Amino acid sequence: MLMKNYTNKPILYSTRQIWKLWVLYFGSFMALLILISTKWLEDSLPENLYMILMLCAFLLAIGSIIFPCVAIKCPKCQTRWFWYAVSKKSESEGIRWLFSQTKCPVCKSDFN
């Protein structure tokens, strides 16, 4: 039977910050859902309600993207890991790179 090595968890799990990434996923999904349903019901909605719902979807999407960029950070040196991953790494490796890290890429603190 194969045993998983739980001593080297990714930093998002070992620092209990994975929920902050789920805010991005859930918020983006909800924004998309609001956007699609608002667009689908466009003819039956009053114009001011339509504009409010579209604005809410936009703000939710933007907030869902900004939140992990600001909130996912090293408890020791305060480096914003998610922002570091999306700004310093290539598109194809950014999030994958973040999940492969077992210690802070800047201060090298180990949280396992």
Helices (H), 41-109: 47-71, 81-88, 94-100
pLDDT of residue 65: 92
Tell me how far apart the alpha carbons of residues 95 and 111 are, in angstroms, rounded to a whole number: 19
Residues 6+ apart with CB under 8 A from 53: 34, 38, 45
Tokens standing for 67? Answer: 């939140």
pLDDT in tens, the chain (112 residues): 444 555 678 888 989 999 999 999 999 999 999 999 999 998 888 989 999 999 999 999 999 999 999 999 999 999 999 999 888 887 778 788 888 888 888 888 887 7
Q: What SS3 state is found at 16? A: coil
Tell me how far apart the alpha carbons of residues 55 and 12 are, in angstroms, rounded to a whole number: 31
